[in-house]
Amino acid sequence: MEIDRILLTQEQIQSRIRELGAALSAEYAEKTPIFIGVLRGAVHFFTDLTLQFPHPCQYDFIGAASYLDGTQTSGHVKLTKEVMSDIRGRHVIIVEDILDTGLTLRFVKDHLLLMQPASLKLCVLLDKPERRRADIAADYVGFTIPNEFVVGYGLDYNELYRNLPYIGILK
Ligand code: IMP
């Protein structure tokens, strides 16, 4: 498999992340939020986004998996890593690479809501609204994209391509 074309360049991604960082800064400057990254696809987005947040904040990570392999979702989501922080009464921002069917983030959001955070918002780099199956919307979206399978900048196909600095569409 090779990359057919680049959907978002490194420059486009970084420029949009600066805008998202500014929007988050306006809302959370005084709130010492906890950014919770969803492993593993959000890793690059998480680090670049939090570097654009120049106020007190904390980091945590949660693991969830819904894809059995390849490009097809199994429809089942399981927790692969629990958060470490006590998020009760805290302002939480979930940071995820992509909102596709929404099953993963619906599961993650419901799981974290049980811990009674003061607020819980969702920040995704990519949104593929055409494929939505769960009732969920992101509060912050980097880019709304068409229904194509994308890789790079953390996103994988069978665990490969995560280290591309851009987002591309596979052949
Ligand atoms: P959802 O549960 O269908 O919303 O999918 C969430 C997860 O599926 C994401 O965190 C990704 O790991 C994976 N995923 C969905 N669409 C893509 C894609 O286009 N490329 C790579 N991974 C994807």
pLDDT, one tens digit per residue, over 19-60 is 999 999 999 999 999 999 999 999 999 999 999 999 999 999
pLDDT value at 140 more than 60: yes
> From start to end of the chain, where are the E strands?
3-8, 34-39, 58-69, 72-81, 91-99, 119-127, 140-144, 150-151, 167-170
Q: Does the beta carbon of 98 lie inside 6 Å of ligand 1?
A: yes
Closest ligand 1 atom, CA of 96? 10
Query: Which atom of ligand 1 is the closest one to the Cα of 41?
Result: 12
pLDDT at 146: 95
Q: What is the pLDDT of residue 69?
A: 54
pLDDT in tens, 82-125: 999 999 999 999 999 999 999 999 999 999 999 999 999 999 99
What rounded mean pLDDT belongs to the chain? 95
